[in-house]
Amino acid sequence: MSRILLLLKACSFSLFADAQGFFSGSFQSNTNFFIRDTAIGAANLPHYDNYKVGTDAWLNLNYNNEKYGLEIGARVDFLYNTILWVPTNPQTNGGLGIVYIKKKVKDVTITGGYFYDQIASGIIYRSWEERPLGIDNALLGARVQYDFKDYLKVKAFSGVQKNRFTIYKQLITGFNAEGNANIKDKVTLQPGVGFINRSMDKESMEMLVSRIETLDSTQRFVPKFNVYALTFYNTLTAGNFSWYIEGAFKTREAVRGYNDILYNKPGNIIYTTLNYSQKGLGVSLSFKRTEYFSMRISPNDYNAQGIFQGLMNFLPPLSKQHSLRLPARYFAPSQDQQELAFGADINYSPNKKMSFNFNGSYIRDNVKGTAVVEAKLKDTDTTLSPVRNFFAEGFVSGIFKPIKNFEIEVGFQYVRYNRLLYLNEGNIAVDAYTPFTEISYRFNRKMSVRMELQYQHVTKDFGQWIYGLLEFNVAPRWSVAVSDMWNFKPNPDNPVPSARKGNHYYSAFLAFTHHAHRFSINYVKQVEGIVCTGGVCRFEPAFSGVKVAITSTF
């Protein structure tokens, strides 16, 4: 690492005087002041009982020189009592998050150091950063990419994956080729192929063998050091239609069943989307079938305290990602063992004053025949899904603009949610009914006000909710908002004791923006539940406290 830093320093000093080069950067800081609140369950954890304060900060520095085709970058991370990695267990660490050098010579681009990348939709490989969920699985290694005009792009890479501030020992090697061909007017093909090999290290293999030896003799198998995954994909565009399809296969390896027992399984997946768009109308249909497609550094690196540790890929979810508070409470993240998912989304705008959105999704297991056993409730062979139906959602909304500066949205959501599968909380199918409205009014070019009202009826979970938000903005500097999420008729049978009372979850927000700098402070009470970002989700306990954030670019 010290050699990389010296190289970066030498390159930056030697090219600093060149008029073609420039520096840029960004800074982000989030500080949490934890306030104990036993009423909502924000207590009996180290950050509420002892630490009281936690800070996460990232500083990015980049140098670009177009004349020499050179790019140099580094990021310094500092996380003190952070709850990003494990929401129930604050941790502290800091250091160099990433550092890289990228050099372009004609049509060839070479990258060395830490970098992010993915193949196709990410099904067989994706390295990315998602700060709100504590995901940062950059690859430390080298990548070579060749661009042949607009017709062909080929890249190959190899390296080891990072986990926070440590480096895994397993080697990852990948290859990806993508083409672009015009068949005739308004008809194009964009085919691609990708390949990934993960080679396990000796120490991880010994740990895996030890676990397999604890199984019944009929369940034991001989694990393999290497796993291979191959994907084929294509995007066909013809006029107003666009069709994407991807099929992937992985070789046999040790995977975890729902009962946490290891099984020797190959995997496969097919994912496709069909889109149609014209003036005033957009239609999107999607389908995904998954069978044992877990791509991890090794089965040893999955545990309840760090479900994103060792994650090598991304499975696109098909359920709708909501921005409103109550509709967003029930989301279906992708399942890597068994999943059959269908989705449809329709947007219709008959004129400039109104538009409508219709969305539906249905997710279940992909096993034929009778209903499968409930794996989390029995000690039998349970590689299959715990219940047959996972998730179903129906959503409709309409946006109306009766006058120029006034906009109102009304909508309704119905969700059936499998708590056993997604929350591991008993064999209960939750039905949630959520009507909502959002109203916006712009007084002039600078001042505007926005209001949200939402109601949710979900008797088998928290009971009945009502949520209200009022936000006032003075562009481009000020934004202030207050909200309350009130469990006014709680479920007396809720397994969480703190949720059996009618709690208020208040929030007060203030933000100030000056040029490229933004400062915000937010007093928050947040109910426990699933938090999702970018289609990736995790369960978080209740939160109570003050959040102070700073973002800056330069």
The mean pLDDT value for 483-509 works out to 89
Which pLDDT band, with edges at 50, 70 and 90, does 427 fall under? low
* pLDDT tops 70 at residue 181: yes
Is there a contact between 413 and 454 (Cβ–Cβ < 8 Å)?
no
The answer to whether residue 295 is domain-embedded is yes
Helix (H, G, I), strand (E, B) or coil at 50: helix
pLDDT band with cut points at 50, 70 and 90 for residue 98: very high
The pLDDT tens digits of the residues spanning 208-223 come to 999 899 888 888 999 9
359 vs 460: which has the higher pLDDT: 359
Q: How far is CA 2 from CA 5, 7, 8, 74, 171, in A?
A: 5, 9, 10, 13, 22
Please provide the average confidence, as pLDDT, over all residues in the chain.
89
Answer whether residue 109 shows pLDDT above 80: yes
Q: What is the pLDDT of residue 306?
A: 53
Q: What is the torsion angle, in degrees rounded to the nearest 10, for the CA atoms of residue 114, residue 120, residue 122 and residue 124?
A: -100
Assigned domain for 25 exists:
no
Hey, is 546 helix, strand or coil? strand
> Is position 450 within any domain?
no
- Whether 527 and 40 have beta carbons less than 8 Å apart is answered as yes
| Helix, strand counts (H, E) of the chain | 4, 31
pLDDT at 186: 85
The arithmetic mean of pLDDT across residues 500-529, rounded, is 94
State the alpha helices, DSSP H only, in 399-533.
419-423
Quick one: pLDDT at residue 385?
43
DSSP code for 327: G
Reduce the DSSP state of residue 39 to 3 states and report it: helix
Given pLDDT bands bounded at 50, 70 and 90, which one contains residue 19? low
Question: Tens of pLDDT along 22-35?
Answer: 999 999 999 999 99
Residues 428, 209: Cα–Cα separation, whole Å: 36
Task: Report the Cα 156 to chain-centroid distance in Å.
Answer: 25
Highest mean pLDDT pick, 202-211, 291-300, 511-520:
511-520
What does 367-432 look like in DSSP terms, one character per residue? --SSPPP-GGG-SS---S-SSSEEEEEEEEEEEEEEETTEEEEEEEEEEEEEHHHHH---S-EEEE
- The per-residue pLDDT for range 254-297, each reduced to its tens digit, is 988 766 788 899 999 999 999 999 999 999 999 999 999 989 99
DSSP state of 48: I
- The domain tally of the chain equals 1
Residues forming beta bridges with residue 549, ordered by sequence position: 30, 520
Q: Are 465 and 435 in contact (CB under 8 A)?
A: no
Whether 184 has a pLDDT exceeding 90, the answer reads no
3-state secondary structure of 41: coil
> What pLDDT was estimated at residue 132?
87
Residues 6+ apart with CB under 8 A from 174: 117, 119, 125, 156, 157, 158, 194, 195, 196, 197
With 0-12 CB in 10 A as exposed, 13-18 as middle and 19+ as buried, what is 3?
Answer: exposed
CB 130 within 8 A of CB 534: yes
Question: CA 530 to CA 79: how far, in whole Å?
Answer: 23
Residue in the block written with tokens 């079938």: 289
Q: Indicate whether 540 belongs to any domain.
A: no
List pLDDT tens digits, range 358-401.
999 999 987 653 333 344 444 333 443 445 789 999 999 999 99
CB 297 within 8 A of CB 308: no
Residue found under tokens 């400039």: 352
| pLDDT, mean of residues 404-424 | 92
Q: Is residue 212 part of a domain?
A: yes
Which bin fits 535, alpha (ψ -120 to 50), beta or left (φ > 0)?
left
Using the predicted structure, report yes or no on whether residue 147 has a pLDDT greater than 60: yes
Residue 165 lies in a domain: yes
- Rg of the chain in Å (alpha carbons): 25
pLDDT higher than threshold 70 for residue 426 = no
Q: Which amino acid is at 409?
A: E
Query: Using CA atoms, how far apart are residues 235 and 238, in angstroms rounded to an integer?
Result: 10
Q: Confidence class of residue 316 from pLDDT cuts 50, 70 and 90?
A: very high
- Kindly state the DSSP code that residue 133 receives in the 8-state scheme: G
Length of the chain: 554
Comparing 174-178, 298-302, 354-358, 547-551, the range with the smallest average pLDDT is 298-302
Cα torsion 105, 110, 111, 116: sign: positive
Nearest CA among 28, 233, 217, 269 for reference residue 119: 233
Specify if 157 maps to a domain. Answer: yes
Alpha-helical runs (H) found in 225-359: none
Query: What token pair was written down for 188?
Result: 């194009």
Q: Which domain holds residue 208?
A: 150-316
Q: Is residue 252 part of a domain?
A: yes
What distance in Å separates the CA atoms of residue 453 and residue 473, rounded to the nearest whole number? 18
Q: For residues 294 and 307, what is the distance between their CA atoms, to the nearest angstrom?
A: 12
Nearest to 284 by CA among 240, 340, 247: 240
| C-alpha atoms less than 13 angstroms from C-alpha of 110 in its C-beta half-sphere | 4
Written as six digits, the tokens of 260 are 């946490």
Tell which residue, 531, 553, 547, 421, has the closest CA to residue 134.
531
Give the model's pLDDT for residue 467. 97
- Quick one: pLDDT band at residue 17, thresholds 50, 70, 90? very low
- Give residue 395's identity as a one-letter amino acid code: F
pLDDT of 489 > 90? The answer is yes
Phi and psi at residue 205, in whole multiples of 5°?
Answer: -65, -40
Distance (Å, whole) CA 206 – CA 519: 50
Q: pTM of the prediction? A: 0.90
Beta pairing class for 187-199 and 126-127:
unpaired
